[in-house]
């Protein structure tokens, strides 16, 4: 099923989110507005606002606030991408040149700060202190995660615990916070808030694993990056970790995390080894299991079309090709 | 009068702010915590939390929330300093090496993001949506100001309007927002909120002018930077603008804003010309006038020892030597 078909029940909401994102980009100052518009228009799947809206729609609540929450979540995501691209010195994102490959680092810092400030402003407009607390906590988790990654680097052995900790901070925490917030805004019970938080966390984790799988198997045209770009940067993700578990004596994979200098040829070879190994399927299966757990968490919630859509959204996360 | 004597009425509060700032620095992750502690311990005058506390104490309100507001204001200030130092490629701040002269730009971005996130977290704990709205608006103003400065640069002629717009965004907006917030938290009337906002805005503007004056006349030991460091970076502040108004044909001053290459010798000469000119007094007088306006704004408020202290604090701002 295509994402656009899955999201039919919130089609009108998603269009409003898109318009509000464009409004948010309308910075008073021209050149910056162009840049932020280009980020917003480069698209992305809008998974975070979609999941936020679906969770929120399960409870009767004010449309305007739920929409603002969804917009603010996507802006926060974009802000972290901008600083992240700078930190990773990434050259492309979603197939387009990243801000920092077009701008200097100064402008990238400022653009990230601006989108971040805008996210905070819109979140503040929602006017719910509990939601703002979740928003602020999520920012802390994301930033602490980036710092840990930067300072500890990876340990000498590619390591599953580190990986899951890292992707929680990087991706799952925002899904978790967004879905909890949507439920809080709808005055949901603690049981429902927790169920949606759990769903968000599992979904976000699965989403990141599949992103990391697609980094190996997607074509550059599909994923907008060179094949194996994570490993080329010394970032060891689940497919490589499982591959290492099966081939602990592999000369390249074992030392990639400690960033011993590897030739491009060595990297190409190990990327090809991983890409064509059964470990790709094993990584997908881990994501699949998380999706099942996410779907089980939904069982605590009222049976509505929104719950059904969240269920389908979870299936989409592992089935997607880009 | 020394600052410490002026602030006697809130001495206990200020000590608590200091402890809470140190608590805030206690990041889970070791190396980062050390760096943030070093920023916090490098001191600074804590003008922003002091003014926030004094404004808040005029109204009966919860101690814990007012203290959190004051801490959050200082953290927000610190976060902007960290990114600002990176953007300006400043080598020293308050006499100590800046983060980015010790760290790479990646770490500086992360440290700024972390302190910023912490400020948002503590502001969210205050649990007042109006205060959070002011907080978010202030961040927007600060970031937009930095972006404008970066992108427009200065116009060809050093220009008073641009200067005042810039220092509002850079400094006065946070004083204004902090004082308004303190009054909002104390359920003050709109008249009182506006009076304190006006005081904060005028005080912050005067504070920045004096900072810019001290950049010319302070010794490196006092201000922790080389004499004329702004002009050396092509940043034209009020003393230089007034000097230019009086000497429009001065060969160096007229072109500094457009960053024509100047030799160190030329820069040293123009700095000395400005430093020893009567225009330094004229700049101080503009700050003095703003302080009087700030003090007049206080007249709308109940006559308490806190109002009296805010009055003295305004005098201190222009009298200080560092």
List of domains in chain B? 3-319 (1.10.600.10)
The residue whose two tokens read 């009296």 is B308
Tell me the residue length of chain B: 322
Q: Which residues of chain A are within 8 Å of residue B124 when distances are taken between CB atoms?
A: 129, 132-133, 135-136
Does B129 contact A133 at a Cβ distance shorter than 8 Å? no
pLDDT at B219 over 60: yes
Residues A83/B113, Cβ–Cβ less than 8 Å: yes
Between B114, B127, B146, which is nearest A110 by CB? B146
Name the band, by pLDDT with cuts 50, 70 and 90, for residue B153: low
For residues B138 and B169, give the distance between their C-alpha atoms in angstroms, rounded to a whole number: 8
For residues B232 and A314, give the distance between their C-alpha atoms in angstroms, rounded to a whole number: 57
ipTM: 0.83
End-to-end CA distance of chain B: 14
For residues B89 and B211, give the distance between their C-alpha atoms in angstroms, rounded to a whole number: 19
For residues B89 and A96, give the distance between their C-alpha atoms in angstroms, rounded to a whole number: 29
End-to-end CA distance of chain A: 14
Q: How do A96-97 and A92-93 pair as beta strands?
A: antiparallel
Rounded (10°) CA dihedral B295, B299, B302, B303: 70
Residue of A nearest to B128 (CA): A129
Could you give the 3-state DSSP secondary structure of residue B15?
A: helix
Residue-wise pLDDT tens digits, A56-105: 999 998 899 999 999 999 999 998 888 776 666 654 555 555 555 556 66
pLDDT at B258 over 70: no
Q: Is A153 at the interface with chain B, CB within 8 A? A: no
- Please give the pLDDT value at position A248: 85
C-alpha A32 chain-centroid distance: 24
Q: Is A147 at the interface with chain B, CB within 8 A? A: yes
For residues A239 and A236, give the distance between their C-alpha atoms in angstroms, rounded to a whole number: 8
Write phi, then psi, for B200 (nearest 5 degrees). Answer: -60, -40
pLDDT at B154 over 70: no
Name the band, by pLDDT with cuts 50, 70 and 90, for residue B156: low
Mean pLDDT score of chain A: 87
For residues A15 and A22, give the distance between their C-alpha atoms in angstroms, rounded to a whole number: 11
Helices (H) and strands (E) in chain B, counts: 18, 2
pLDDT at B144 over 60: yes
- When computed from its CA atoms, the radius of gyration of chain A, rounded to whole angstroms, is 19
Of A51, A38, A164, A159, the C-alpha closest to A96 is A38
Structure tokens given for B204: 């912050």
- Please give the pLDDT value at position A104: 64
Q: Is B113 at the interface with chain A, CB within 8 A? A: yes
For residues A162 and A182, give the distance between their C-alpha atoms in angstroms, rounded to a whole number: 29
C-alpha B219 chain-centroid distance: 20
Write phi, then psi, for A276 (nearest 5 degrees). Answer: -100, 10
pLDDT at B221 over 90: no
Of B169, B29, B18, the C-alpha closest to B110 is B29
Residue-wise pLDDT tens digits, A310-319: 999 999 999 9
CB neighbour class for A234 (10 Å; exposed up to 12, middle 13-18, buried from 19): middle
Q: Is A43 at the interface with chain B, CB within 8 A? A: no
Name the band, by pLDDT with cuts 50, 70 and 90, for residue A151: low
Could you give the 3-state DSSP secondary structure of residue A93?
A: strand
Structure tokens given for B98: 């800046």
Q: Is A148 at the interface with chain B, CB within 8 A? A: yes
Could you give the 3-state DSSP secondary structure of residue B93?
A: strand
For residues A195 and B126, give the distance between their C-alpha atoms in angstroms, rounded to a whole number: 27
Of A86, A27, A41, A75, the C-alpha closest to B148 is A27
Q: Is A143 at the interface with chain B, CB within 8 A? A: yes
Q: Which residues of chain B are within 8 Å of residue A121 when distances are taken between CB atoms?
A: 133, 136-137, 139-140
**Highest mean pLDDT out of A183-197, A251-265, B235-249:** A183-197
For residues B172 and B169, give the distance between their C-alpha atoms in angstroms, rounded to a whole number: 6
Between the alpha carbon of residue B143 and those of residues A112, B75, B83, B138, B244, the distances in Å are 10, 15, 10, 9, 28
Structure tokens given for B278: 């009567």
Q: Which residues of chain A are within 8 Å of residue B146 when distances are taken between CB atoms?
A: 110, 113
Structure tokens given for A217: 């198997």
- Please give the pLDDT value at position A212: 95
Residues A65/A53, Cβ–Cβ less than 8 Å: no
Does A120 contact B133 at a Cβ distance shorter than 8 Å? no
Q: Is A83 at the interface with chain B, CB within 8 A? A: yes
Q: Which residues of chain B are within 8 Å of residue A83 when distances are taken between CB atoms?
A: 109, 113
């Amino acid at each position: 099923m295509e994402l656009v078909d899955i999201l039919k029940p919130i089609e009108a909401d998603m269009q409003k989110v898109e318009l509000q994102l464009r409004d948010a980009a309308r910075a008073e100052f021209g050149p910056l507005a162009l840049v932020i518009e280009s980020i917003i228009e480069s698209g992305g799947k809008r998974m975070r606002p979609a999941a936020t809206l679906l969770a929120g729609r399960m409870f009767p609540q004010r449309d305007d606030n739920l929409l603002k929450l969804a917009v603010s979540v996507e802006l926060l995501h974009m802000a972290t991408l901008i600083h992240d691209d700078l930190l990773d010195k990434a050259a492309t994102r979603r197939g387009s040149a990243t801000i920092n490959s077009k701008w200097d680092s100064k402008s990238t810092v400022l653009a990230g700060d601006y989108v971040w400030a805008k996210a905070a402003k819109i979140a503040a407009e929602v006017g719910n202190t509990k939601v703002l607390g979740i928003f602020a906590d999520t920012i802390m988790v994301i930033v602490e995660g980036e710092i840990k990654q930067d300072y500890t680097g990876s340990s000498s052995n590619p390591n599953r615990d580190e990986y899951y900790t890292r992707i929680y901070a990087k991706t799952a925490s925002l899904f978790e916070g967004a879905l909890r917030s949507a439920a809080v805004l709808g005055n949901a019970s603690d049981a429902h808030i927790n169920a949606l938080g759990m769903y968000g966390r599992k979904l976000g984790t699965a989403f990141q694993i599949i992103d990391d799988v697609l980094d190996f198997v997607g074509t550059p045209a599909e994923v907008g990056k060179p094949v194996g770009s994570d490993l080329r940067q010394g970032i060891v993700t689940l497919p490589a970790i499982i591959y290492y578990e099966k081939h602990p004596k592999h000369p390249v994979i074992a030392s990639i995390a400690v960033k011993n200098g590897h030739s491009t040829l060595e990297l190409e070879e190990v990327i090809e080894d991983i890409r064509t190994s059964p470990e790709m399927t094993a990584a997908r299966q881990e994501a699949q299991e998380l999706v099942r757990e996410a779907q089980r968490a939904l069982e605590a919630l009222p049976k509505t079309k929104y719950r059904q859509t969240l269920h389908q959204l979870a299936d989409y996360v592992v089935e997607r090709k880009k």
